[in-house]
């Protein structure tokens, strides 16, 4: 100690750890940087912490959104296994008649791992229109699809009316979606300018799930965590209205279709819903027609009799569904994509099996080119 030049232990410690002396003007500190103890540094740290929501805040937002979705869903278990079997036999008859070409051209719409059958009213959507995006969907001219089969009225609609799910005379559009294992419908909102609310669907053949607020990507296929995961049981009825129908997208994920599944979607078209003119369906009209902003969208050739290619659903392709400027609802913010709060396990635990059922609606399909990008759309 005699040889030491330090008379105060504090001075020796400062010489050994000069970075600790930054607040007193140490030469190691950047002169442009505020002192460590300054108010500016504290303010900057506070601002940075506010720019990125905490996990707790994200969970709170997810929970609020999920509650909004849940408030717009009603589910009932109305159809017994025996009633389901009877209806499923009728659905098989529809498939058989379609294979024999006994329906009108626009009644049947084929896609990989999913066929769609329009009755009462049919409409264009997805890749059928040259001008894409929400609000471009159009009803077909009257009479272009087959009428709703009597068995749908007798076995399905009548029971829904008896249980006051829908009023008498509400349904004028019935769509049957028939899925094979691995089939899916990408995130969408049923066209608000085409259909009244509520939207009613009844599920058959097997159990599945309806997911809200997902993002799809392909190459390979990927689906983000849902904001709300809704189990769908065979024979159950799902009624969508309010926030669940209008303000958030819903979808069917490939992993949720493990067996063949069919859903009958029952809706009412709006009186002011836009409708295609008959001349737009005439051969050669699309190629000869001049483009104009005040004209109807050009209808692409129908693919209703195209054979489904099971491998086509897994071709490399990319879907961009994050940009839907024309839709009045708000898509999910980026911070929701990382949250585990809305995982299906969480919702299964928190809501159990009492929230029974299921499914809704339609989709767009893209034809062709693996590299082509497709925006999400309502249908």
- Mean pLDDT along residues 276-294: 61
- Dump strand ranges (E) for the chain: 73-77, 108-111, 114-119, 123-124, 138-139, 173-179, 185-188, 199-204, 208-212, 216-217, 222-223, 228-232, 236-240, 250-252, 261-267, 318-320, 373-375
Query: Is residue 172 situated within a structural domain?
Result: yes
Residue 91 has which token pair?
């659905």
- Radius of gyration in angstroms for the set of CA atoms belonging to the chain, rounded to a whole number: 28
Helix, strand or coil for residue 208? Answer: strand
Catalytic-labelled residue, pool 6, 19, 36, 123: 123
The percent helix, strand, coil of the chain (3-state, each to 5) is: 30, 20, 50
Query: Is residue 334 situated within a structural domain?
Result: no
State the residue for tokens 């809200």.
212
Query: Is residue 367 situated within a structural domain?
Result: no
Ranked by mean pLDDT, the top range of 112-126, 290-304, 347-361 is 112-126
Query: Is residue 32 situated within a structural domain?
Result: no
CA proximity to 75, closest of 264, 211, 240: 240
Helices (H), 241-354: 242-246, 285-288, 344-351
Domains held by the chain: number: 1
- Mean pLDDT along residues 310-316: 42
Query: Is residue 36 situated within a structural domain?
Result: no
pLDDT level of residue 345 (50, 70, 90 thresholds): very low
205: left (phi over 0), alpha (psi -120 to 50) or beta: left
The half-sphere exposure of 202 on its side-chain side, counting CA atoms within 13 A, is 24
State the residue for tokens 């693996």.
370
Sequence-separated (6 or more) residues with CB below 8 Å from residue 239: 73, 74, 75, 76, 165, 198, 199, 200
Secondary structure (DSSP) of 23-51: GGT-TTS-TTSPPTT-HHHHHHHHHHHHH
The domain that contains 200 carries what CATH number? Answer: 2.60.120.590
Neighbouring CB atoms inside 10 A of 129's CB total 20
Instruction: Tell whether the model's pLDDT for residue 348 goes beyond 70.
Output: no
Instruction: Tell whether the model's pLDDT for residue 48 goes beyond 70.
Output: no
Residue 215 has which token pair?
């993002």
179 belongs to the catalytic site: no
Q: How far apart are CA 88 and CA 176, in angstroms?
A: 11
- Structural domain range at position 183: 65-269
Ranked by mean pLDDT, the top range of 35-49, 210-224, 301-315, 332-346 is 210-224
Residue 157 has which token pair?
């609609």
- Mean pLDDT along residues 172-185: 96
Higher pLDDT, 287 or 128: 128
Q: How far apart are CA 112 and CA 327, in angstroms?
A: 27
Q: ∠ CA 48-54-57 to the nearest 5 degrees?
A: 130
Q: How far apart are CA 244 and CA 370, in angstroms?
A: 32
pLDDT level of residue 222 (50, 70, 90 thresholds): confident
Neighbouring CB atoms inside 10 A of 194's CB total 23
Q: How far apart are CA 376 and CA 191, in angstroms?
A: 12
pLDDT tens sequence across 74-91: 999 999 999 999 999 999
Q: What are phi and psi of 241, to 5 degrees?
A: -155, 175
Instruction: Tell whether the model's pLDDT for residue 283 goes beyond 50.
Output: yes
Q: For strands 173-179 and 73-77, give the pairing.
A: unpaired
Helix, strand or coil for residue 174? Answer: strand
Query: Is residue 130 situated within a structural domain?
Result: yes
State the residue for tokens 């940075």.
48
- Mean pLDDT along residues 16-44: 49
Percent of the chain topping pLDDT 90:
51
Q: How far apart are CA 165 and CA 180, in angstroms?
A: 28
Query: Is residue 59 situated within a structural domain?
Result: no
| pLDDT value of position 343 | 42
Higher pLDDT, 48 or 61: 61
Question: Is 358 within 8 Å of 238 (Cβ atoms)?
Answer: yes
Residue 270 has which token pair?
């709006």
Query: Is residue 196 situated within a structural domain?
Result: yes
Q: For strands 373-375 and 318-320, give the pairing.
A: parallel
């Amino acid at each position: 100690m005699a040889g030491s030049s330090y008379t105060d232990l504090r001075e020796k410690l400062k010489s050994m750890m000069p970075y600790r002396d930054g607040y007193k003007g140490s030469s190691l500190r950047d002169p442009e940087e505020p002192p460590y103890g300054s108010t500016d540094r504290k303010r900057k740290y506070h601002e940075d912490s506010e720019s990125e929501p905490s996990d707790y805040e994200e969970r709170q937002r997810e929970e609020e959104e999920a509650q909004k979705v849940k408030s717009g869903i009603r589910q009932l278990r109305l159809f017994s296994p025996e009633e389901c079997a009877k209806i499923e036999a009728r659905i098989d008859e529809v498939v058989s008649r379609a294979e024999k070409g006994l329906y009108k051209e626009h009644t049947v719409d084929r896609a990989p791992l999913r066929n769609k059958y329009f009755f009462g009213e049919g409409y264009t959507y997805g890749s059928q229109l040259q001008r894409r995006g929400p609000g471009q969907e159009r009803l077909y001219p009257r009479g272009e699809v087959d009428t709703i089969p009597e068995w749908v009225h007798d076995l399905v609609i009548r029971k829904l009316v008896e249980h006051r799910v829908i009023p008498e005379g509400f349904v004028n559009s019935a769509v049957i979606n028939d899925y094979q294992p691995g089939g899916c419908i990408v995130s969408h909102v049923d066209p608000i300018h085409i259909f009244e609310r509520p939207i009613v669907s009844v599920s058959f053949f097997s159990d599945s799930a309806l997911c809200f607020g997902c993002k799809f990507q392909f190459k390979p296929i990927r689906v983000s965590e849902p904001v709300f995961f809704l189990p769908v049981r065979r024979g159950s009825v799902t009624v969508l209205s309010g926030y669940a129908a209008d303000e958030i997208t819903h979808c069917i994920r490939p992993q949720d279709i493990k067996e063949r599944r069919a859903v009958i979607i029952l809706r009412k078209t709006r009186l002011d819903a836009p409708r295609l003119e008959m001349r737009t369906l005439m051969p050669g009209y699309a190629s000869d027609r001049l483009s104009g902003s005040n004209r109807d969208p050009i209808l692409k050739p129908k693919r209703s009799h195209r054979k489904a290619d099971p491998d086509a659903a897994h071709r490399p392709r990319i879907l961009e569904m994050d940009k839907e400027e024309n839709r009045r609802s708000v898509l999910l913010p980026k911070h929701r994509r990382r949250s585990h709060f809305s995982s299906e396990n969480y919702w299964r635990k928190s809501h159990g099996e009492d929230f029974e059922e299921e499914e809704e609606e339609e989709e767009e399909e893209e034809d062709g080119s693996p590299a082509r990008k497709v925006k999400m759309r309502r249908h």
